């Protein structure tokens, strides 16, 4: 499968996952299916009477029904063909992107673990700093001088807090890449470019 094909399949899959497709389009299609099922339960005689009232005679009615049957058969065949194509392309896309998805999964695990680790480090540094401040003030230093001399320093604590504050955005970016086939194809192409370079 060429990169162009990968992009096209990725765009199609992302489109099929779009909230409007998942929400409104599927809801409307469900309503249409329900209405068609209700019509199928109505008596044929009543349905024929309704169609005959809209047709120009019996021959026109039969012609309209033949066209409707033909359209329904074509739609059924087209939907089955599309379903088969989507399954086939999804398999190829999953295979092509397996390394990228695995890498993104590992990056998410790494960032999540780092987030937990930094949280623990912050608690430890805060505890150590409070203990150091208590010892320094007990030794007779003023609050400001104790703040300046206490180890670990305020800068170390600030650096940890800054790193922790940046992690949710990085995790969100990885989550977006895991949800979007387009992002995954871009990452795949970027890796291919790195290998060539």
Q: By percentage, how much of the chain surpasses pLDDT 90?
A: 65
User: CA 157, 129, 144 angle in degrees (round to 5)?
Assistant: 95
Is 1's pLDDT higher than 60?
A: no
Residue 19: both structure tokens together:
């909230």
* Across 78-96, average pLDDT: 92
Gyration radius from the chain CA atoms: 32
Q: In whole angstroms, what is the distance from residue 5 CA to residue 20 CA?
A: 24
Tens digits of residue pLDDT in 124-146:
999 999 999 999 999 998 988 88
Whether pTM > 0.85 for this model: the answer is no
Q: In whole angstroms, what is the distance from residue 14 CA to residue 12 CA?
A: 5
Q: How far from chain centre, in Å, is Cα 119?
A: 27
> DSSP code of 110?
H
Is 197's pLDDT higher than 60?
A: no
The pLDDT confidence band at residue 85, using thresholds 50, 70 and 90, is very high
Which of 31-45, 131-145, 181-195 has the largest mean confidence? 31-45
Q: In whole angstroms, what is the distance from residue 106 CA to residue 95 CA?
A: 17
The pLDDT confidence band at residue 192, using thresholds 50, 70 and 90, is low
174 CB-contact burial (10 Å; exposed 0-12 / middle 13-18 / buried 19+): buried
Cα distances (Å, whole numbers) of residue 28 to 79, 84, 87, 190: 17, 23, 24, 39
């Amino acid at each position: 499968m060429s990169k162009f094909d990968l992009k096209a399949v990725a765009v199609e899959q992302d489109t099929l996952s779009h909230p409007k497709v998942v929400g409104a389009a599927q809801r409307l299609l469900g309503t249409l299916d329900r209405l068609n099922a209700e019509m199928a339960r109505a008596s044929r005689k009543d349905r024929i009477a309704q169609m005959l009232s809209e047709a120009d005679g019996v021959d026109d009615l039969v012609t309209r029904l033949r066209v409707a049957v033909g359209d329904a058969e074509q739609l059924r065949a087209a939907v089955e063909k599309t379903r088969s194509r989507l399954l086939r392309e999804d398999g190829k896309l999953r295979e092509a992107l397996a390394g990228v998805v695995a890498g993104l999964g590992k990056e998410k695990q790494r960032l999540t673990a780092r987030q937990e680790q930094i949280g623990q480090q912050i608690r430890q540094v805060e505890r150590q700093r409070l203990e150091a401040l208590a010892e320094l003030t007990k030794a007779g230093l003023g609050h400001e001088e104790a703040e300046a001399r206490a180890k670990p320093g305020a800068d170390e604590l600030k650096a940890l807090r800054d790193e922790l504050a940046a992690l949710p955005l990085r995790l969100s970016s990885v989550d977006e890449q895991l949800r979007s086939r387009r992002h995954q194809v871009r990452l795949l192409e970027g890796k291919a470019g790195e290998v060539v370079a």
